Amino acid sequence: MERLHDVTRTGFASDNYAGVHPAVLDALAVVNGGHVGSYGADPYTAALQDVTRRHFGEQASCWPVFNGTGANVVALSAMTDRWDAVIATGHAHIHVDECGAPEKVAGIKVVTVDSPDAIMTPALIDREAYGFGFEHHAQPRVVSITQSTEVGTVHTLEQVRAVTEHAHALGMVIHMDGARIANAAAALKVSLREMTTDVGVDVVSLGGTKAGLMGVEAVVVVNPDAVRRMDFVRKLSMQLASKMRFLSAQLLALYSEDLWLETARHANAMARRLGEGLRALDGVTLTQEVAANGVFAVIPPQVTLRMQAHYPFYVWDEATHVVRLMCSWDTTPEDVDGFVAALAEELAREGDNPA
């Protein structure tokens, strides 16, 4: 097949832009060939359950799906009735970036609370956790938090525990959108269990694609009492793969050993390197400390436009000129240093030719 893209061109638009990790491609080759059971009745999906229990506890189960929105929709569908509501921050992916799928597909109401740093707190929960038993009010059922968050911050273990204990005391359950859960665990230097099971999280949308998989995420049910029938919900949500072994094999490649942690540590390290490089440039302001694999900075808009012609990245906030720069499992020091050097040149050019 003819290659249609320049493999030497890299950028910082998203960890979704990165390719598939070689170990994952190797795993797909291993599981190919011959006939095995479909729809999850295969030895690789069975082995994935063992790995999941090792990471999240003996009650945990893993349900592979096709994408992150699918994971969130399946998880929230299984945790709610049609009259229930999910509380999330205004930055949450389920609110901003999923085209209304939780409402349209899962049939639930997402209510948001204002949190500039995307960190959920008990006080924020209380803004929307009311009207229990009142038939005219959507029933608060789930608190959804993101780890690491959409704005690059990370909930500490103490913050997560405070949220889960408060929500459970209200009779609610906790969903964690873990599209970048590996990056958060690496940043906190904790295990997946310490960040979820041990602090009271009930259901996790487990990330994969952003960590180097071809196209698979999963729902991990940590607390079986928090969900209904996952098998029916996944099928109804059109997230049940027939050739499941190819999804499970990717998750096995990532989570059976330490690949998930190695790739996350690397991406986080590249983000720190990028943040340090940007901090040294006059005309660039970091909006916050780099916590995981994302860097948020204010860059002059005309400089941003010129830089985007060479390095793909997104403007996060048009009004404030904040850009988002994401590092991936395959980001290299040379990629980072090249971007910083190019930005320095563009800033100097801007200084020589002020508007």
- The CA R_g of the chain, rounded to the nearest whole Å, is 21
Parallel/antiparallel/unpaired status of strands 322-326 and 285-286? unpaired
What does residue 80 show for φ and ψ, rounded to 5 degrees? -130, 160
DSSP 4: -
40, two tokens? 């999850």
> Bridge-partner residues for 177, per DSSP?
146, 205
**Predicted confidence (pLDDT) per residue in 329-342, tens digit:** 999 999 999 999 99
pTM score, whole prediction: 0.96
Tokens representing 269 are 């390290």
Whole-number pLDDT of residue 353:
61
CATH architecture of 260-352: Alpha-Beta Complex (3.90)
Q: What is the pLDDT of residue 352?
A: 61
Give the model's pLDDT for residue 144. Answer: 98
102-155 per-position pLDDT tens digit: 999 999 999 999 999 999 999 999 999 999 999 999 999 999 999 999 999 999
Distance CA 199, CA 165 (A): 8
Higher pLDDT, 349 or 115: 115
Q: How far apart are CA 266 and CA 186, in angstroms?
A: 9
| Start-end of CATH 3.90.1150.10 domains in the chain | 260-352
Given a contact cutoff of 8 angstroms between Cβ atoms, the answer to whether 326 and 264 are in contact is: no
Domain with CATH 3.40.640.10 in the chain: 22-255
> Quick one: fold of 22-255?
Aspartate Aminotransferase; domain 2 (3.40.640)
Instruction: State residue 20's pLDDT score.
Output: 97
